[in-house]
Amino acid sequence: MRKKLIYFILPIIIFCVVFNFYLFVVIINKYNLSSAIVDELQFKFDFVQYAIASIVFTTIFAIIMVVFKLDFIINPIKKLTNIATKIALGQYEKRIEVYEADEMGQLIHSFNLMASRLEETIKDLHDKKNKLYSILNSMDDGVIFVDNEKNILLINPAAIDIFGLNHNVKNRYILEVIRDKRIEELINNPDETPVEMVINNNKQRILQVKSISVTDYGTNNMIGVLLVIHDVTKIKALENMRSEFVANVSHELKTPLTSIKGFAETLKYVEDKQTRDKFLDIIYVESERLSRLINDILTLSELENKDYSINFQKVCLNECLTEVYYIMHRIAQEKNISLELKNFEEDLYIYGDRDKFKQMIINLVDNAIKYTPQGGNVFIKLEKEDMKAKIEVKDTGIGIPNQHLPRLFERFYRVDKARSRSMGGTGLGLAIVKHIVMIFNGTIDVQSEVNVGTTFTIHLPIYKH
């Protein structure tokens, strides 16, 4: 820059020296200064005139030089200002081309280096922010971070869904958004021990909430509180189901075992053959019932834990229903019940387990026969509906009251416990049916009317050739 300024000023100095020397020579030639000046007033006037001319021409020349020669300073500064404005607006990829190695060139090079580092830093922060939001958005647990003033700085979609909030809740006071004193207590007294709480928004939820104080690692000052919300509603429901299942299994096993044990002990003191045979028959019936119960429990456990899709194959529904019809026809005749089968006019196929399909239909037909009085009718029907196979098992039996229908497929649930046990039911037949339908990616529906009959309708996806 010093060299450029010297090259810029030097022509002006040379111009001034040459021009003034020229004026000096002109004056000497005009007044012949080697002799005495005749007209002193005229000399002074001409001297002032030439001096003014020298100043004017020197100034004009200097201005021309400034206009045409200062671009090397002004233009880089303009470019620097323009690029700095664009970078400030977010165009971090902008750079200035460097042509000189002077101080301005070094400044531009440093500016470009600063812009590159800024671009890398912004990109790194943007990547970290995206990763953070991707992680938070994919979490099933709710996460809420509030600052020391209890304003929400961060909240993920899971927390919004759990509390039924709107998406524009950031920077709002948390108690305006979630009106629950227990949340305030957790924020005021952060403790990593999970606290269980029940909320009732659109539906009842059981939550485990953990509050963690967050500190700045640089200053070690507390900057806010992090709330981690875990929805344990399904876990609690499964725990209750497991407890009920264990209790029901224990109860169901205890009843026949008590009978077997009691009659077995009594046999030791019975000498009459007729009475002994009667007791032995009871023991046999109870042991059969116990065996059926254990088999159903094992079947249900197997359905829940085994991957039957490995053994899936193309299954013809028409053939399977025909086989079930001949299996159950004799049982229906013994009870004087009419069993009818109406197959679809063309063969329908599903992709599934043949044995499990037959077990599902046998369970439904067996129930229909059990709960239909003598002289009644049981119908099996196969249709095609909306690219799905529709299977109906309909009876003219005693029917089921409407209040029992929602719980009909629960394990060990019985509409009439006394009648079910007397008919040899274990309370697991319909639960097994439900699980098999789920394995086949189908649906099952039940409609019933007391003293009119019950209809079970199954829809299964048809196998595409």
- Tell me how far apart the alpha carbons of residues 191 and 179 are, in angstroms, rounded to a whole number: 20
Q: Is there a single domain that holds both residue 275 and residue 372?
A: no
- Residue 47's identity, in one-letter code, is F
Q: Any bridge partners for residue 229, and if so which?
A: 142, 209
Q: SS3 for 449? A: strand
Q: Give me the average pLDDT of each 10-residue run along the chain (465 residues).
A: 58 67 66 52 65 73 65 72 82 74 76 85 85 81 88 87 81 84 84 81 82 83 88 80 70 73 79 81 79 74 66 87 90 90 89 87 89 90 89 90 81 60 63 86 90 91 80
If one counts every other C-beta atom within 10 angstroms of the C-beta of residue 433, the result is: 22
- Tell me how far apart the alpha carbons of residues 160 and 194 are, in angstroms, rounded to a whole number: 20
**β 204-215/222-231 pair status:** antiparallel
Phi and psi at 299, nearest 5°, equal -65, -45
Q: Is there a single domain that holds both residue 455 and residue 317?
A: yes
Q: Is there a single domain that holds both residue 286 and residue 331?
A: no
Please count the structural domains in the chain: 5
What burial class does residue 218 get, using C-beta atoms within 10 Å of its C-beta: 0-12 exposed, 13-18 middle, 19+ buried?
A: exposed
If one counts every other C-beta atom within 10 angstroms of the C-beta of residue 191, the result is: 12
Task: Identify the helix (H) or strand (E) that includes residue 320.
Answer: helix 317-334
Task: Identify the helix (H) or strand (E) that includes residue 329.
Answer: helix 317-334
What burial class does residue 60 get, using C-beta atoms within 10 Å of its C-beta: 0-12 exposed, 13-18 middle, 19+ buried?
A: exposed
Q: Is there a single domain that holds both residue 389 and residue 437?
A: yes
Q: What is the CATH number of the domain that holds 214?
A: 3.30.450.20
Q: What is the CATH number of the domain that holds 96?
A: 1.10.8
Q: Is there a single domain that holds both residue 329 and residue 365?
A: yes
Residue reference for tokens 């899709």: 309
The range of the structural domain enclosing residue 36 comes to: 2-69
Q: What is the CATH number of the domain that holds 416?
A: 3.30.565.10
**β 377-385/338-342 pair status:** parallel
Residue 34 confidence (pLDDT): 47
Residue reference for tokens 């019940």: 337
The tokens describing 72, both together, are 């090397």
Final residue of a structural domain among 231, 262, 294: 231
- Tell me how far apart the alpha carbons of residues 26 and 423 are, in angstroms, rounded to a whole number: 143
Q: Is there a single domain that holds both residue 53 and residue 160?
A: no
The tokens describing 439, both together, are 């394995």
The tokens describing 159, both together, are 């927390």
The tokens describing 399, both together, are 């029917």
Residue 37 confidence (pLDDT): 47
Comparing CA positions, the residue from 307, 389, 311 lying closest to residue 350 is 389
All residues at 6 or more sequence positions from 298 whose CB lies less than 8 Å from its CB, including other chains:
none
Q: Is there a single domain that holds both residue 270 and residue 284?
A: yes
- Tell me how far apart the alpha carbons of residues 306 and 355 are, in angstroms, rounded to a whole number: 14
Is-contact 431 359, C-beta < 8 A? no
Q: Is there a single domain that holds both residue 158 and residue 250?
A: no
Q: Is there a single domain that holds both residue 15 and residue 40?
A: yes
Comparing CA positions, the residue from 1, 3, 9 lying closest to residue 61 is 9
Q: Is there a single domain that holds both residue 177 and residue 51?
A: no
Q: Is there a single domain that holds both residue 215 and residue 161?
A: yes
- Tell me how far apart the alpha carbons of residues 87 and 93 are, in angstroms, rounded to a whole number: 8
Is-contact 456 361, C-beta < 8 A? no
Final residue of a structural domain among 166, 196, 231: 231
Residue 346 confidence (pLDDT): 86
Is-contact 428 434, C-beta < 8 A? no
Final residue of a structural domain among 117, 133, 149: 133
Q: Is there a single domain that holds both residue 401 and residue 323?
A: yes
Q: What is the CATH number of the domain that holds 250?
A: 1.10.287.130
Residue 418 confidence (pLDDT): 47
